Amino acid sequence: MTTDLYPAARDLLAKLVGFDTTSRGSNLELVEWVEAYLDGLSAPHRRVPNADGTKTNLLATIGPAIEGGVVLSGHTDVVPVDGQPWSTDPFSLQERDGRLYGRGTCDMKGFLALALAAAPELAKTARKPVHLAFSYDEEIGCLGAPSMIEVIRRELPAPAVVVVGEPTNMEAVSGHKGIATFHVTVTGRECHSSQPHLGVSAVMEAVKLMGSLNALSARLWDEADPASPFTPKGPTLTIGMVHGGTAHNIIARECHFVFDLRSPGPRTPEEIVAPFLAECAAMDAALKARAPEAGVVVDMHTNVPPFRPEADGAAEAFARRMTGDNGPPRVVAFAAEAGQFQQAGFSTVICGPGSIDQAHQPDEYVEIAQMQRGAGFMRRLIEWAAED
């Protein structure tokens, strides 16, 4: 007699949500708890930490160390709750009206909880390996996964497929856009605002650059391929953060802004923003001519590759088998670690509980029905892993 995995997954989700793993902090407390859970199953695991050890990926294998297994990939970090009008404690799981509320329930601790709920039975019955790949800093540019993916590529018996459990309503998704984030810092020269001819306003110069990005964003929208399967169809460019100046009567010495570019390819981010980078270089020279300490610096902070549909993809076929999904091919506009796994040579699919519509929102939730569908996926995964 098989057991329903949902109750265990719900309890595990409550525990995982209780750890504040906002990307600006550490995920070590959560990882330590998961390690103790895996130790109870005698499942081998290892860390792949960041440079200073304040955060870490966690990689575990349940079942034999042979080729042909499946990787269940998910990130442990969550986005901030600052300034959001939550009606409940975001780090305490709340159930009401058929939903489970809390930061990360949808994106994406629900999937982690389901994977961990399946682990005890897998530890007893698996004849094929199931690898758990839990990453850090996905929310700020998929920064953690590459080092873990390299360990999987170099040191594990080759897995057959990778399932990235981002929220897709438990439907198979075979493509996503890439994302590149750029940090722009304009430096000027401070002086009294009544004497602007003696200084250089970083804010006023930065506004010119942001105007150029706004125009580029509009062009990208207008030039989108109408046949694209994505929504929105083409690349999108948005400015997400702006900081600058110290007072209304001081010519601003610095202005810093961040923009992100999401593109399905084939053009690279560098190709798309090349005219903007040329404008920044020209402004940098012009500002230095007015004040040697002034200038413009552009830093590409992250560059996550797009995830492209695979012809007869093994991972997509696997996810459809596990879910019973017979729907049309699907792609999503958000970026994830799937493109990084694919770039490393792994057949990859995105499939997890919940909807991206609930991600990053106040009162984030995952529907219980979605978690139950995910439990069904894990039940069939257990049966698959037990096959000869």
Which residues are identified as catalytic? Answer: 77, 138
Whats the size of the chain, residue-wise? Answer: 388
Secondary structure element (H or E) that encloses residue 238, with its range: strand 236-244
How are beta strands 56-62 and 99-101 bridged, if at all? unpaired
Preceding peptide of 108 cis, ω within 30° = yes
What is the distance between the alpha carbons of residues 15 and 367, in angstroms, rounded to a whole number?
17
Cβ contacts of 254 within 8 Å, gap of 6 or more = 185, 186, 187, 188, 202, 244
C-alpha to C-alpha distances, 100 to 39, 89, 228, nearest whole angstrom = 28, 12, 34
* CA–CA gap between residue 216 and residue 304 (Å, rounded): 21
Q: What amino acid is encoded at 135 in this protein? A: S
